[in-house]
Amino acid sequence: MTSNLDRTTLELLESLVGATGGSDDIAEIECVNGLLEAEWTAIGFEIVRHPIPGRADLVVAELRVGSDAPDADRVAVTIVGHSDTVWPVGTVGDWSYAEDAASGMLSGPGIGDMKAGLVVAGLAARMIADSCSAPGLLRILLIPDEEVGSVGSLPIIERVAGMTDLCIGLEAGKPGDQFVAFRGAVGAMRIDLHGVPAHVTEPGGVNAVTALLPLATEVAALSGPEVLVSVCRIRAGEARQITAADGWFEIDLRADRAADLLAVVERIRSRAAAVDPTVRVEVHGGMTRPELAVERSARPLALLAELDEARNPGGARAIGIRERGGSDASFFAAAGVDTLDGFGPICWDNCARGERVLASSLPDRAVRMAELAIAWIDGGMRRQR
């Protein structure tokens, strides 16, 4: 490999990728939890697990760094990541972890989102523990249900956000040394429709499909410049000759502004309420994540650029970009916490079959994450209220 990663680090990454699972795959997520708990405990973290109903545990790891002080007097930096992936058990086939020495790439399901980012957090934590002088509290928050909106984890996320001075997000970095300085709001909805099953030649049947297809078409037509509305998953019926008793479709929503997204959510609910009353309709979900505003990322991005210049005068400096993908870091930003996301390694084809990361970007991102956290703690930079 062309990176400075040692074999132990690569073996940990391979094990994490090997435990790929979706939010419902509790055994795989608990395997990830166990691997990282062992890694982080060896660094000195104290681990607390929080049961999430129907999911694997949420893990909170805390490490006191620098000089002695009560926890209330320590500057708190929270690194937020997740243990689940977009690849449920049974969906990856024979695709597995691989190292390509020629290209310097590491690949595998979930490697960019975000197994490699979790490895970066551990690498950075060792540097932070060794180098902080002022009293600080380094926290890693490992979410088990991020890919489905972090619904079960949200109360803990919000509580931790209230005790955080800087949030660092582990979502994948972007080619061109880009970090995520802005994220739009994200929504996820599901509409269930219930009819009455009967043979198509017999009376009494109510076909859920008859209402489902026009409604899904109407919902998709709500997409526009302010809000991207996508209907990408539909299921209905059990047999060709039986009216569908049940059907459903899922809706993905993306917007720069939470207010615009919430307005479309209400329009979707209104259209669902107007469906033929012989079909029973249930509407679930709504906005799952607020936006990460540029005002929240400005301080950490500027400081990171200064640190880049000090380490490598005249060289590349961190660039902030806008992205509509969701992240739990947005909850911290919405709570008024200075937040910078995209600290995972540089990734291509994130969440797709070609998902791969640049091996040399893991130690690079770890160094810069550590420098930012140390500067924040040693500088006594409290959250701006």
Does the pLDDT of residue 226 top 90, yes or no?
A: yes
Whether the predicted model's global pTM rises above the 0.85 cut: yes
Please report, for the chain, how many H helices and E strands are present, in that order. 9, 16
Percent above pLDDT 90 for the chain: 93
What three-state secondary structure class fits 179? strand
Give me the pLDDT at residue 317, please: 87
Give 384 or 385, the one with higher predicted confidence: 384
Does the pLDDT of residue 316 top 90, yes or no?
A: no
Distance set, CA 64 to CA 37, 74, 77, 156 (Å): 16, 8, 11, 20
Residue 278 phi/psi, 5° resolution?
-70, -15
Count Cβ neighbours within 10 Å for each residue of 283-302 and write b for 16 or more, e otherwise.
Answer: bebbbbbbbbbeebbebbbe
Task: Give the integer Cα–Cα distance in Å for 341 and 67.
Answer: 28
Cα 256 from chain centroid? Answer: 17
Dihedral sign, Cα of residue 89, residue 112, residue 295, residue 64: positive
Tens-digit pLDDT profile for residues 289-309: 999 999 999 999 999 999 999
CB atoms within 10 A of CB 155: 12
Whether the upstream peptide bond of residue 287 has omega within 30° of 0, thus cis, is: no
Does the pLDDT of residue 2 top 60, yes or no?
A: no
Give me the pLDDT at residue 84, please: 97
Does the pLDDT of residue 228 top 90, yes or no?
A: yes
Tens-digit pLDDT profile for residues 42-81: 999 999 999 999 999 999 999 999 999 999 899 999 999 9
Task: Give the integer Cα–Cα distance in Å for 155 and 167.
Answer: 17
Task: Give the integer Cα–Cα distance in Å for 298 and 320.
Answer: 9
Name the DSSP class of 293: -
Strand order in the sheet with 136-143: 46-50, 58-65, 136-143, 75-82, 166-169, 338-340
Q: Using 50, 70 and 90 to split pLDDT, how confident is the model at 3?
A: low
Give me the pLDDT at residue 385, please: 61
CB 357, CB 373: distance < 8 Å: no
Cα 371 from chain centroid? Answer: 23
Percent above pLDDT 70 for the chain: 99
Task: Give the integer Cα–Cα distance in Å for 53 and 321.
Answer: 35
Question: Mean pLDDT for the chain?
Answer: 95
Give me the pLDDT at residue 1, please: 36
Tens-digit pLDDT profile for residues 89-146: 999 999 999 999 999 999 999 999 999 999 999 999 999 999 999 999 999 999 999 9
Q: Using 50, 70 and 90 to split pLDDT, how confident is the model at 33?
A: very high
Residue 381 phi/psi, 5° resolution?
-85, 95
Per-residue tokens: 204: 């009494």
Give 326 or 30, the one with higher predicted confidence: 30
